[in-house]
Amino acid sequence: MMESNPYTTLDYLILPLLDEDISYADISKESGFIKMYTTDKNYPQTEHCFMLMYDSSVNTKESLARFCKFATLPTIKYTRSIKIEDKHYTVYTFIKNPKYRIHINNILQGNISSSIDYANRYLDFWKDTPWLPEVVSALMYLSLIPIETRELPEEDYYPDIIEMNDIKLKNQLVV
């Protein structure tokens, strides 16, 4: 029985272009990969970036390999830990890879280039996965497929140190 497809057309097109050193193993379920996001309302400065979210509780050889590899990637702007609904995640924020910046911008605007260089990158990236037929189909019918963006879920709220002091002070005054 084949697992359900966790990837969207945008994932097929953007994930292989984030960095040349990223492979399918880095965005697999075994590595803890959850989703790729295009916006984050908690951090509006990431407007032109892509966020990859990973389950922090996944501790496998794939997640360790990904962690070590991502620590050296030049396209990662920053890494942060977040908590959503009391579950811990790691979010890697990638800048647009300078090598593919124009192509990525075209994808996001719905202007898809059919350059053979890009097609080869996509096919090389997805070749040993169960998703290759969907990737090929997406590449063939790209102009007919809407590109949907995704917003990173909002983080759990935790008061900062100033708010904690205010709460403590109010509690002392009530007594």
pLDDT for position 1: 44
φ/ψ of residue 126, rounded to 5: -95, 0
Place of tokens 């983080």: 155
- Is residue 97 within 8 Å of residue 18, measured between CB atoms? yes
Q: What is the pLDDT of residues 46-57, one digit of tens each?
A: 778 999 999 999
pLDDT for position 115: 63
pLDDT for position 9: 83
**pLDDT > 70: what percent of the chain?**
81
3-state secondary structure the chain: CCCCCCCCHHHHHHHHHCCCCCCHHHHCHHHCEEEEECECCCCHHHCCCEEEEEECCCCCHHHHHHHHHHCCCCCEEEEEEEEECCEEEEEEEECCCCCCHHHHHHHHCCCCCCCHHHHHHHHHHHCCCCCHHHHHHHHHCHHHCCCCCCECCCCCCCCCHHHHHHHHHHHHHHC
Domain ranges of the chain: 9-174
> Quick one: average pLDDT of 85-89?
91
> Quick one: average pLDDT of 78-88?
91
Q: What is the pLDDT of residues 101-123, one digit of tens each?
A: 988 888 887 776 666 678 888 99
Q: Residue 126 corresponds to which tokens in the numbers above? A: 């997805």
pLDDT for position 152: 82
